Amino acid sequence: MSETRDTLTITDNRTGRTYELPVEDGSIRAMDLRQIKVADDDFGLLTYDPGFKNTASCRSSICFIDGDVGILRYRGYPIEQLAESSSFLEVAYLIIHGELPTPEQHEQWVYEITHHTFIHENIKQFMDGFHHDAHPMGMLVSTVGALSTFYPEAKGTGAETRHMQIVRLIAKFPTLAAFAYRHSIGMRYAYPDNDLSFAGNFLNMMWKTTELKYEPDPVLERAMDVLLILHADHEQNCSTTTMRVIGSSDADPYSASAGACAALYGRKHGGANEAVLNMLQDIGSVDKVAEAVAAAKAGEYRLMGFGHRVYKNYDPRAKIVRELAHEVFDITGKNPLIDIAVELERIALEDEYFVSRKLYPNVDFYSGIIYQAMGFPVSMFPVLFAMGRIPGWLAHWQEHVLDEEQAISRPRQLYTGADERDYVPLSLR
- Show which residues are catalytic: 269, 308, 364
From 321, 112, 290, select the one nearest 198 (Cα to Cα). Answer: 112
Helices marked H in 11-158 — which ranges? 79-85, 88-97, 103-114, 121-128, 136-146
Q: Between the CA of residue 362 and those of 99, 176, 312, 314, what are the distances in Å?
A: 28, 28, 10, 7
**Side-chain-facing half-sphere of 361: CA atoms under 13 Å:** 25
From 277, 260, 267, 236, select the one nearest 399 (Cα to Cα). Answer: 236
DSSP state, 421?
-
From 202, 207, 249, 236, select the one nearest 387 (Cα to Cα). Answer: 202
Q: Could you give the CA distance from residue 76 to residue 99 in angstroms, rounded to a whole number?
A: 10
Question: What residues are paired with 20 via a beta bridge?
Answer: 9
Residue type, 68: D
From 278, 260, 244, 241, select the one nearest 383 (Cα to Cα). Answer: 260
Q: How many C-beta neighbours within 10 Å does residue 60 have?
A: 18
Angle (CA) 210-216-221 rounded to 5° is 150
Q: Could you give the CA distance from residue 103 to residue 268 in angstroms, rounded to a whole number?
A: 39
Rounded to a whole number, what is the distance in angstroms from the first to the last CA of the chain? 72
